[in-house]
Structure 1
Amino acid sequence: MTSVARSKAAAAKATLAVRPSAGFVSTGELRAISERALSYLQVGFPVHFRGPAGTGKTTLAMHVAAQLGRPVMLIVGDEEFTASDLIGGQTGYSYRRVVDRFIHSVVKYEEDAVQRWVDNRLTTACREGYTLIYDEFTRSRPEANNVLLTVLEERMLVLPTMTRSESYIKVHPEFRAIFTSNPQEYAGVHGAQDALSDRLITIDLNFYDRETEAAIITAGAGAHPSTALAVVDVVHALRASGAYSQMPTMRAALMIAKVLTERNIQPSADNPAFVTLCFDVLASKLKYSSDREQREQQRQLLLDLIRRYCS
C-alpha cells in the first residue's frame, strides 16, 4: 500500500459519520440557533459556538454538522498541540531496493529511504471537503492554530516545504469549520488571536430557559417531565443564589435525573435517597469553607431549595 493510500485509509477511520439525532431536543430557541449557524456555514463562513460549560456547545456543533451531510473530522484542543498535530508530518521511512541482474555475471543493488508523510486531521478535512469540528480550540496554543488563518480566509493550507513535494493544497469547496470555546474557563486556556477570531462568526450560548432544559433532561435521562422540571428548578435556584464556586449546569441536572429514573427514586424532599443524591451532586459546587458553621449554612441553603421545589 502506498503512503497516500495509507494516509487516506487512516483518515477514513478518523472521520465521524454523524446523522441528525432523533433524541435532539429542537425547541424554538435551539432551532433558531441551529438555523442561523447552518445559514452561515452554507455560505462558507466558519461558525464559533462560545459559552460556559454545560450549555451543549459540542452537541449543538455535532447537530449542525449533521445537517451539512458531510463526514466530520473532530479535533479537541490540547495545550501540547503544534502545527504538525493539525496538518501532519513525517512518520518513519519507506524503503526501496532495486536488484539489477541484466548481466548475469554482474549484480547491481540500489537502495534508498524516503521519509513518509502522513496527513493529520486538518489536512484531510481540507483535502477531502469534510466538516471540521474544533472543540475547545482555545485550549491549543495560538501559534499552533495560526495554520488556520489561510485555510479560513484564502482557502489554502500551507504545508512545510522541506518535508514534502507539495507546498500547499487548495481547500476543498465543501470544507466547513465549526469551533467551540468556553470564555469562562481559565485553566489551560489561551486567548484566541484576533486574526483567527476575526475570521469566525461567533454565536454566544448561555443556559437555556426552564422549559428547554427540562425538555433536554427528559430526552437525555428518559425522565418523567415532572421529575425533570423539579430537578431543573433546584439547579436553576442554586445557580441564581450565587452561593457556588463552580456554577451548577445542565449536566448536574442530567446526572440527578438519570439516577432517579434508573433507580426509580421519587424526587421528594421527604425521600432521604433523593436528598442524598442532590447533596452528592450539588454540594461540591458550593463555595468551600473550612468553617464548619458556614458549611452547615450552605447545606441548609441547598436543603431549603430542595424542600421549596420538591415538597
Structure 2
Amino acid sequence: MTVESLSQAQAVDSSDNDSVLPEASDTFVTTPYVEEVTGRALAYLRAGYPVHLAGPSGTGKTTMAFHLAALWGRPVTLIHGNDEFSVSDLIGTNDAGYRRSKVVDNFIHSVVRTEEEMRQMWVDNRLTTACRNGDTLIYDEFNRSRPEANNVLLSVMSEGILNLPGLRTAGEGYLDVGGDFRAIFTSNPEEYAGTHKTQDALADRMITIRLDPPDRDTEIKIVKSKSGLDEIEAGHIVDIIRELRGTGENKTRPTLRAGIAMGKILSTVSGQARFGDRLFHHICYDILSTESAKVLHDGQSVFRQWVDDVIKQVCPPSGVQPADGSDSSKVLEKAQSFWHQS
C-alpha cells in the first residue's frame, strides 16, 4: 500500500503530539471511482460507523484513509498494526514511573506529622488519546495486531466506552469516548504474511469497503500525476501493469506502485515506453521482478519473456519517433549521463 497510489497525504502538527491534522494534497487524483468510494465511506462515518478499507497491497487503502480523514476535518491519531502489540500498547500503561507526594503538618509546634504517598503514573497511548480528544483514529493494517490486543476496541465501537483497567484504583476505570471520535481501519488479505484472522465480533462492528485495483482511467491519471508523463505514455505503462496483473502464472501480481515507479524513472531519464528499447525493457524487468522471475525454460527466464510479450502487445516499437525527436539510443545516453551525474 502506498500513499502515492491515490494522493500524497500532508500533515501539520496539532496541539497533541500524538495527533496530526491531514490536508488534501494538490496532486490528489479524483475520478468517478474515487468519488464513489469516498462518498460511501463518508456516509458511513456520518452515521457513526467505523469504516474498514480492505484489499490487496497497492490499492490505495492508506491513502484513501488519510483522504477521508482530511475531508472529515478532525485531527488524526495513527496506529500501525504490530504483532507485538498488547492492550497496553493501545490504551496506555501505569508503569511509566511513580509520583511521590509528602505532607508535613506542623500546626502544633511541638507535634510534627508527616504523610507520604507514592502512586504509579498513568500515560495514555494513542487509542486512549483519540478517544479522549474525539480524534479520527486511522488503524493501518490492524489485522497485523493479534486479536486479543484488538478486543479493547469492541466496547469503543459499540458502547462508546473505553475500558482502562490500569486506572481502576483511581476511580477512572472507564472513559466515555468523545462524540467526534471516528475510526478508519485498513487491512491486507488474511493470506498475507504476518496477518491474523479478524475476530467476528470486531468485523461485525465496522462497515467493510473492499478495494480492488482501480479502473484503467484512474490508474492512468495517477501515474500521469505522480510521474509527469503525458497521458499516452502513462497509458502504455498502466496497460503493461494490467496485462501482467491478469497473468495467472505471475505469482506476485504488480500493483500501481510499480507503474508509478516506472513512470517516474522514465520521466527522469526522458525515456518512453517502447518495445525494443533496451533501457525500457530492463526498467520493466527490475521493477516488475517477482518470484516467477526465477522460473527458467531452456536456461532463459520465463518471466522476462512474459514481460517482453506484454510490452510488444501494448507499446509502439522503438522505431516510432519520440515526441522530442530523439531515438532510443539517445534516450539510453541520457540515462547513462544521469547515472554518472548522480
* Structure 2 residue corresponding to 1:261, chosen from 263, 267, 271: 267
The 2-side partners of 1:220 and 1:271 are apart by 23
Q: Structure 2: which 5+ residue stretches go unaligned? A: 1-12, 317-342
Q: How does 1:61-100 map to 2 (within 5 A)?
A: 61-90=65-94, 91-99=96-104
Stretch moving more, 168-177 or 20-29: 20-29
Question: How much has 1:211 moved relative to structure 2?
Answer: 1.1
Find the counterpart in structure 2 of residue 5 from structure 1: none
Provide Cα deviations, 1:77-136, integer angstroms capped at 9, x if missing partner.
Answer: 110111111111121112224455656787665443211101111111111110011111
For residue 163 of structure 1, report the CA deviation from its aligned partner.
5.5
Which amino acid is 2:26 matched to? A
Which of 240, 244, 250 in structure 2 is aligned with 1:244? 250
Asked whether the 8 Å contact 1:83–1:147 carries over to 2, the reply is yes
Read off the aligned partner of 1:284 and give its amino acid letter: T
Q: Distance in 1 between matches of 2:183 and 2:299?
A: 48
Instruction: Sort the Cα spacing of 1:184 and 1:88 in 2 relative to 1 into closer, same or farther, 3 A.
Output: closer
How many residues are aligned here? 302
Structure 2 Cα separation of the partners of residues 89 and 177 of structure 1? 22
Match of 2:177 in 1: 171
2:49 pairs, out of 34, 45, 48, with 45
Deviates more, 1:94-103 or 1:15-24: 94-103
1:204-247 Cα distance to aligned partner (Å, 9 max, x none): 11011111101011112232222211111111111112221211
| Aligned twin of 1:308 | 313
**Structure 1: how far apart are the matches of 2:234 and 2:247?**
20
Q: What amino acid is aligned across from residue 140 of structure 1 in structure 2?
A: S
> 1:22-37 residue pairs with structure 2 within 5 A?
22-37=26-41
**2: distance between equivalents of 1:166 and 1:301?**
62
Structure 2: how far apart are the matches of 1:29 and 1:22? Answer: 18
Residue identity over aligned pairs, in percent, reads: 48
Aligned CA distance change for structure 1 residues 293 and 144 (closer, same or farther; 3 Å): same
CA distance in 1, matches of 2:127, 2:115: 36
CA 185–216 in structure 1, closer or farther in 2 if over 3 Å, else same? farther
> Residue 245 of structure 1 contacts residue 287 of structure 1 at CA under 8 Å; is this kept in 2?
no
Residues 118 and 201 (structure 1), Cα distance of their counterparts in 2 relative to 1, 3 Å cut: same
Contact in 2 for aligned 1:49/1:181 (Cα 8 Å): yes
**Matched letter for residue 251 of structure 2:** S
Aligned partners of 1:123, 1:308: CA distance in 2, in Å? 54
Aligned partner of 1:194 in structure 2 is: 200
* Shift, 1:276, TM fit: 1.0
Does 2:284 align with 1:278? yes
SS in 1 for 2:222: helix
Secondary structure at 1:247 match in 2: coil
Give the TM-score taking structure 2 as reference length. Answer: 0.82
SS at match of 1:237: helix
In 1, Cα distance between equivalents of 2:237 and 2:22: 30
Q: Are 1:256 and 1:278, in contact at CA under 8 Å, matched by a contact in 2?
A: yes
Q: TM-score under structure 1 normalisation?
A: 0.90
> Any idea what SS the aligned residue of 1:16 has?
strand
Deviations 1:262-284 (A, max 9, x none): 22222222322211111101122
Deviation at 1:294, TM superposition (A): 6.6
Q: Distance in 2 between matches of 1:301 and 1:243?
A: 9
Matches within 5 A, 1:149-164: 149-160=154-165, 161-162=167-168, 164=170
Instruction: Specify whether residues 285 and 261 from structure 1 end up closer, same or farther in structure 2 by C-alpha distance, changes over 3 A only.
Output: farther
Distance in structure 2 (CA, Å) of the matches to 1:11 and 1:118: 17
Q: Flag the structure with more relative contact order, 1 or 2, with Cα contacts below 8 A and sequence separation at least 6.
A: 1
Change (3 A) 1:11 1:95: farther
Alpha-carbon distance between aligned partners in 1 of 2:282 and 2:32, rounded to the nearest angstrom: 35
